[in-house]
Structure 1
Amino acid sequence: MTKNFRLTHDVLDVAAVYAIADNARNGAVVLMSGMVRNQTGGRAVDYLDYQAYEAMALQVFQDISDRCRERFPDITEVVIHHRLGKLKVGEISVLVAVGSPHRAEAFEACRYAIDTLKTDAPIWKKEFWLDGVSSWVNCPI
């Protein structure tokens, strides 16, 4: 896979993802940063644990990029980086960036990419709450 698609246990780098999406043809780069929030459904979150079927997830990232390019043919780049392992409240779990000559396509393609990732990618999240209870959520596959 390319530098555009990454699964890692390391902290995600907003500037690096932006730089990959940037291009002289762009009039816009839209970057979406998904973070661990401090509550879900009114329950206090301690931390999250992300796991993935890595080879398949990277292929899904490529498929998402291909579908974005079919729907929004002027976009220049699609970048998807997702973090794995234990993440604390406030840490970035996913970055999606799209470069395009026009902002409307960049916004639409970025939204399409993150929404599709959430439904199609074999990435699983387990929430651990402060009360000691945990459960798997958002398990699309």
Structure 2
Amino acid sequence: MNTLIQLVESIEVANVASLVNKPEYGGINVFVGTVRNHTKGKKVEKLFFECYAPMALLEMEKIAERAKEEFDIKEVAIHHVVGEKQPGEVVVVIAVAAFHRKAAFAACEFVIDTLKETVPIWKKEYFEDGSVWVAAHP
């Protein structure tokens, strides 16, 4: 199993960051996405994430490889949750390592934006008055 690219039930931010932390890299950028407690003016009680795992993992790996090619970075770790999460809980962590910080920042933004556009992950948002399935990554 690729430890850098994973679908998991829970995420430890420090563990994901440690996967790309090596002495030769001068810039490590970490993006942490959490469950908001509101959407479109409604209180969010919880989210449920579901995906087609084989395709999601393959797409995440493609994103990591593309980021390495386009941004002069050396390491990328992407962990995304599946299952139920409460407001404030971590749902995605992206860690990027490069020789210099500028490349790490740019690549990290590229990875999360592309993940939201291409990876088959869906979420169900639960509100006080019901629930709705939405694309987690529109």
TM-score class, shorter-chain normalisation, is over 0.9
Q: Give runs of aligned pairs for residues 113-132 of structure 1, distance below 5 A.
A: 113-131=111-129
CA distances 1:100-122 after superposition (whole Å, capped 9, x unpaired): 11111000000000000001001
Contact 1:23 1:76 in 2 (8 A): no
Deviations for 1:13-72, whole angstroms, at most 9, x for unmatched residues? Answer: 111101001122211110000000100111000000000100111101110011101101
3-state SS in 2 of match to 1:119: helix
- What residue in structure 2 maps to residue 93 of structure 1? 91
| TM-score w.r.t. length of structure 2 | 0.95
Aligned pairs for 1:1-141 (under 5 A) are: 1-9=1-9, 11-73=10-72, 75-131=73-129, 133-138=130-135
Alignment length (residue pairs): 138
Q: Identity rate of aligned residues, in percent? A: 40
- Structure 1, gaps ≥5 residues long: none
Report the CA distance between 1:8 and its aligned residue.
1.3
Contact 1:48-1:87 at 8 Å conserved across structures: yes
Conserved 8 A contact 2:115-2:137? no
Q: Give, in whole Å, the separation in 2 of the partners of 1:123 and 1:117.
A: 9
Cα RMSD of the aligned pairs, angstroms, is 1.3
Change (3 A) 1:121 1:70: same
Other structure's SS at 1:55 match? helix
1:4 maps to a residue whose letter is L
SS of the residue aligned with 2:19?
helix
- Residue 130 of structure 1 deviates from its aligned partner by 2.0
